[in-house]
Amino acid sequence: MKIAIAGYGVVGRGAHELLLKNHAAIAARLGEELTVKYVLDPKDLTGTPGEGLKAAGIGEVLADPEIGLLVEAIGGVGAAYDYVRAALESGRSVVTPNKQLIAEKGAELLALAKEKDAALLFEPAVAGGTPVLWPIAHCLAANELDLAAGILNGTTNYILTKMVAEGADFAATLADAQRLGYAEADPTADIEGIDACRKACILADLLFGRHTDPEKVFAQGITKITAGDVAAADQAGFVVKLIGQARKMPDGKVLCLVTPALIGKGHPLAAVNDVFNAVMVHGNGVGEVMFYGRGAGDLPTGSAVLGDVIEAVRTGCRYDPMMSWTDCGSDHLADRRDYAIDALCRVKEPFAGLAARFPGAACIWERDGETAALVHGVPEGELEDYLAGRAVSPYIRVFAR
């Protein structure tokens, strides 16, 4: 099997390097040689493993009958979208780590893959190297799944881990992370929760079989988390994590959102630190399952890209109906304001005031004219409205004790 790689950045090149590194073992497992015949990237490939493989354009690649599969690692929804459509239209299979493309255009592209009976796989789009989507769709296929949630972005998890360990504030920690290469020069997509939102949408898509439009999903980043929030959480027995979640509510609606959230210190997600990712899934047979590993990086993401390529080749490059969803509107989405939450609140009033409004609240501290407290079972809309004008910091919901 000969493949083409479009986009030769960290992930595209990482996948190629890993294939060369483990070439013999992969061929032995698959019973077939796997070779990169073309690389599609405007940059100079001299000195890279892609040297001598540069294609003139997607037309040259798709005109070659030896090419059975395209790895799209360009990113975004411009050329990436055009190339993936063209490849599928031509009956070629596609593997992509492109979470924006799958979150925004997945339903449409899966419909095309189905029509052409071609594989469209995207394991690396969620949690990078960590196997998540395939095990959910297949190993847990006997379950009714009602929750997938977790730590979906390594940059923000690195920053929060440092803030928890060092009691540092957000801005200083971000600057450190940028200096060390754990955060990009423009970190917006990470720190504002946009990247995690795409991954939460893909999890919702896969669990519930319906396209979840990222534009309609509430995503809050970590830019407003302060050292004071982290300290109040710590005193109440929690750590702060950025959690993306896709959850079937008791009324049948799907709650999909990304927010900072509190995790009890003994919970397995609390031990997911630095740039690691983890996804927890709940099913009515299996109970809770968690997948943990690296969410980014050249070789880890390359591992997931190649795992998908191997799976596609092994199963004859055919469409996989178990790894799919359709677009039938957004009327299944829940409004977070309608549901009760537990949350950490920090307000400029005595604890008595908060407790009078929300019975069952538990005081964490009262000091310097500020109260930190945990409220319990409060409809989120009511809490949000009450805190407007009173809050020292945005409230942080409890995800798990």
Residue with Cβ nearer a second copy (72 or 311)? 311
* Phi, psi for residue 177 in degrees, rounded to 5: -60, -35
172: contact with a second copy by CB under 8 A: no
Question: Does 228 contact a second copy by CB under 8 A?
Answer: no
Q: Which residues contact 320 (CB under 8 A, 6 or more apart)?
A: 119, 121, 137
Residue tagged active-site, from 199, 216, 241, 248: 199
Unique residue bearing structure tokens 């005031």: 353
10 contacts a second copy (rule: CB under 8 A):
no
Q: CB-wise, 165 or 340, nearer to a second copy? A: 165
Query: Contact between 321 and a second copy (CB under 8 A)?
Result: yes
Distance from C-alpha of 394 to C-alpha of 348, rounded to nearest angstrom: 12
Q: Which stretch binds a second copy (CB under 8 A): 1-9, 236-244, 299-307, 326-334?
A: 299-307
Question: Considering Cα of 111, then 112, then 118, then 124, what sign does the dihedral take?
Answer: negative
Distance CA 279, CA 292 (A): 7
| Sign of the Cα pseudo-torsion (201, 204, 209, 215, in order) | negative
- The angle that helices 99-116 and 194-208 make with each other, rounded to 10 degrees, is 30
Among 292, 319, 325, 386, binds a second copy (CB under 8 A): 292
Pairing of strands 35-40, 2-6: parallel
Told to check if 135 binds a second copy by CB under 8 A, we report yes
Return the closest-CA partner of residue 248 out of 199, 283, 202: 283
Q: Considering beta carbons, is residue 44 or 144 the nearer one to a second copy? A: 144
Q: Does position 302 bind a second copy by CB under 8 A?
A: yes
Q: CB 309 → a second copy: shortest distance, Å?
A: 8
Q: How far from 186 is each of 22, 32, 182, 246, 298, CA to CA, in Å?
A: 34, 42, 12, 27, 20
Provide, rounded to whole angstroms, the least separation between the CB of residue 285 and a second copy. Answer: 4
Considering only 27, 231, 299, 391, the residue that binds a second copy (CB under 8 A) is 299
- Distances 257 to 5, 68, 100, 152, 285 between C-alpha atoms, Å: 33, 37, 16, 12, 25
Distance CA 220, CA 226 (A): 14
By CB under 8 A, name the one of 288, 335, 338, 385 that touches a second copy: 288
Does the footprint of a second copy cover residue 12 (CB under 8 A)?
Answer: no
Contact residue for a second copy among 93, 96, 98, 130 (CB under 8 A): 130
Q: C-beta of 311: minimal distance to a second copy in Å?
A: 6
Q: In this structure, what token pair is assigned to residue 252? A: 């049948």
Size of the site for a second copy (CB under 8 A): 57
Q: Is 199 a catalytic residue?
A: yes
Q: Which of the residues 14 through 33 are near a second copy (CB under 8 A)?
A: 18-19, 21-22, 25-26, 29-31
Examine residue 322 and tell whether it contacts a second copy (CB under 8 A). yes
C-alpha 93/C-alpha 168 separation (Å) is 47
Q: Is the separation of the CB atoms in 336 and 255 below 8 Å?
A: yes
Of the candidates 47, 181, 252, 287, which one interacts with a second copy according to CB under 8 A? 287
- CA 353 vs CA 231, 349, 363: distances in Å: 22, 6, 11
318 forms part of the interface with a second copy (CB under 8 A): no
Whether the CA torsion 205, 209, 211, 212 is positive or negative: it is: negative
**Contact flag: residue 284 with a second copy (CB under 8 A):** yes
- Among the residue ranges 43-51, 170-178, 190-198, 280-288, the one whose residues contact a second copy (CB under 8 A): 280-288
Choosing from 43, 138, 348, 401, the residue that interacts with a second copy (CB under 8 A) is 138
Which of 22, 226 has the CB closer to a second copy? 22
Position among 171, 175, 249, 271 found at the interface with a second copy (CB under 8 A): 271
Say whether residue 129 binds a second copy (CB under 8 A). yes
Active site residues: 199
- Which residues lie near a second copy (CB under 8 A)? 18-19, 21-22, 25-26, 29-31, 123, 129-131, 134-135, 138-144, 266-268, 270-273, 283-294, 297, 299-300, 302-307, 309-311, 314-315, 321-322
